[in-house]
Structure formats: C-alpha cells, structure tokens
A and B are shown apart, each in its own frame.
Chain A
Amino acid sequence: MLEFIRQPWPWYISGFAISLIMVMLLYFGKSFGFSSNLRTICTMSGAGKKVKFFDFDWRKEIWNLLFLVGSVIGGFIVSQWLSNPGQLQLSEATISDLSNLGIQFDGGLNPSQLFGKDFATSPKGFLILLIGGALVGFGSRYAGGCTSGHAISGLSNLQVPSLIAVIGFFIGGLVMTYFFFPLIF
C-alpha cells in the first residue's frame, strides 16, 4: 500500500483533491486563495503603518496562515515518508530543451542546479530567485489572485476576469520560457 502511495499521483487524483479542497474551504465559510497570505504577512510585519493597502485586521486571515502552515507540513511529510523512490518522469522533449539551455535534468522535483546551495548563494542565483519571487508577489497582488484564486476558484465561478488573468499567466510564462530563458541561462 505504502509503495503504491509513494508512486507519483495521476492528474485526475490531484485535480479531484484540489477541487475538494476548494469546496472544503467554502464549507468552512472561506475561499481558496493562497497569495492573500503574502499580503497578510506584510501586514503582520507592520506594513499597515506606512501603506494603506496593508492596513487591515490580519487576525481575520489567521485561518489562511494555518492553511499555509499545513502546506509546509504536507511538503515535509511527502519528503520524509512518501517520496517517489524513482526519478521524476520528465518528457524527453523538455529534457532536451532544458539541456540546450545548460540546465541538466537530475531526476528530482527541482533542479539542484537552481535550488542547490551553490546557485542560491551565488550573486546571480540569489538575484534570480529573489526577482522571480518578486514578480510572483507583485503580479499576484496586482492581478488580485494567483493560481488558486483565479485559475481554480475564479474559473470555477465562471469569472471572466479570472480567465483574463489566466491568459496573462500564460503570456508571462511563455515570454519567460522562450524569450528570457536563453538570455538568463
């Protein structure tokens, strides 16, 4: 049984579970949107004293921070007890495209070349990770949501603005992948 669970889970199990999580949060009187936590953490750090956008009662958002803590624990549980004994099955085409950029496929979840100690502590690597995160943080608040808030909650509620946001996600992702990657890596 454990051996079975440790295999990578198929997309339909994951998709079903994510919709279930959305419904569970609705049943708890909340709505599924992860990036709001970033705003809440800014507020908790005192950003509300200087910037009006962060001036709200963060205690109402504690539930979402607990969800965040849970997601960290979830990642830990998988890495400790449920990790895939084999290599990640990445498509040959992706392996070859990345190899042309100088990024080697090493079989893990994330390339150690980008998420290892050497890269993260080099000036270039540190900046890439920091700027990448900044784009995600800025963009998700500007767009009013991230993948969970727009692509899952928003599209499920047939919101046209969410569809526009998801189209934006892909415009940005494709520009980064095909235009900036060859310049960066």
Chain B
Amino acid sequence: MKGLKFILTGILFGVVMAKSEAVSWYRIQEMFRFQSFQMYGIIGTAVVLGSLSVFLIKKFSVRDFSGEPIKFQDKDRSWPRYLIGGSIFGLGWALTGACPGPMFVNLGYGYWPMLIVILGALGGTYFYGVVKRWLPH
C-alpha cells in the first residue's frame, strides 16, 4: 500500500512528540518563559541535523525513492506576511500550547477538547482564505 509509509511516518511523529513532551501545554509555557532547555534542544537539534541533511542532499544531488531529484522550494522573498502571520500564530501557540501537529497528537492522546482548538484552526484557515487579497504579503 502506497500510503502506509506516510501513516507510519506520522505515527513516529506522534510518538516522538508525545514522548518528548513537545505536545505539552506546560512545556510550551516553559519555553516562552525561557525556564527550560527542552524545547530549544528539540528544535535546535532538528534544525542543525536538518540543515546538514539538506546540505548533503543538495551537494550529492540525492534523488527520491522514485528517482526524481529532491527539490527545495524557496520561500517568497518578503517580510510582512512572515512577521505578522508568524506573530498571530505565536499568540495562538502560547494560548493553546499547541501548534497544528500537536493538536492532533493530543487528540489521539485523549484530550478531546483539542477538537475545539482544531475547529478554531480550521475556521482561522478558512477566514484567511476569504480575506487573503486584502492583507499585506
């Protein structure tokens, strides 16, 4: 089955995020209060190893499993959307203690009120689609 590998990768993601407590509301508060290294360690390690991987993939022109070259898409060069959108995201991240991935990991964990957060996130995404053309990007 073609889709199985994505489910398995998702399971790995869910297990790792839950076991390292990156889905914890308390840990996110600790991060925003600069009172623990855990979250910085997680993101920092992922970025350092991730950059090294991307560098090697580019240097050796690594191909994906179907033989296509692995391509990286550059983000649009601007700043308002990243700064404003990012700040709005941050407000919600601190309030709910969950970014999109952890919302779903927490739901699986049994925190059903996360359904309300997910409903809100879908509403917010829809609202962005509606007002997109009036926003500075």
Contacts and interface: CB of A to CB of B under 8 A. Distances in A.
Interface string A119-139: 110000110111111111111
A74 B14 contact: yes
Contacts of B8: 70
A182 interface: no
B50 A73 contact: no
B90 A168 contact: yes
Contacts of B120: 129-137
Interface in B52-100: 53-54, 57, 64-66, 68, 70, 72-79, 81-100
A172 interface: yes
A159 to B, nearest CB: 5
A117 B115 CA distance: 12
A34 interface: yes
Interface residues of A, number: 124
Given A75-B108, A152-B47, A155-B51, A8 B90 contact: no
Given A75-B14, A133-B103, A171-B87, A42 B19 contact: no
B108 A74 contact: yes
Given A136-B100, A161-B82, A173-B91, A82 B117 contact: no
A132 B74 CA distance: 29
A65 B108 CA distance: 15
B14 to A, nearest CB: 2
A143 B81 contact: yes
A98 B26 CA distance: 9
Contact of A74 (B18, B38, B135): B18
Interface residues of B, number: 113
Contacts of A147: 43, 93, 99-101
Nearest to A112: B111
Given A109-B25, A137-B121, A176-B94, A71 B88 contact: no
A58 interface: no
Contacts of A162: 75, 82
Contacts of A38: 100, 121-122, 125
Nearest to B137: A142
Among B3, B37, B46, B97: residue with most chain A CB under 10 A: B46
Contacts of A169: 86-87, 89-90, 93
**Top 4 closest A-B pairs, CB basis?**
A74-B14, A70-B10, A168-B86, A172-B90
Interface of B: 3, 5-33, 35-51, 53-54, 57, 64-66, 68, 70, 72-79, 81-101, 103-114, 116-130, 132, 135
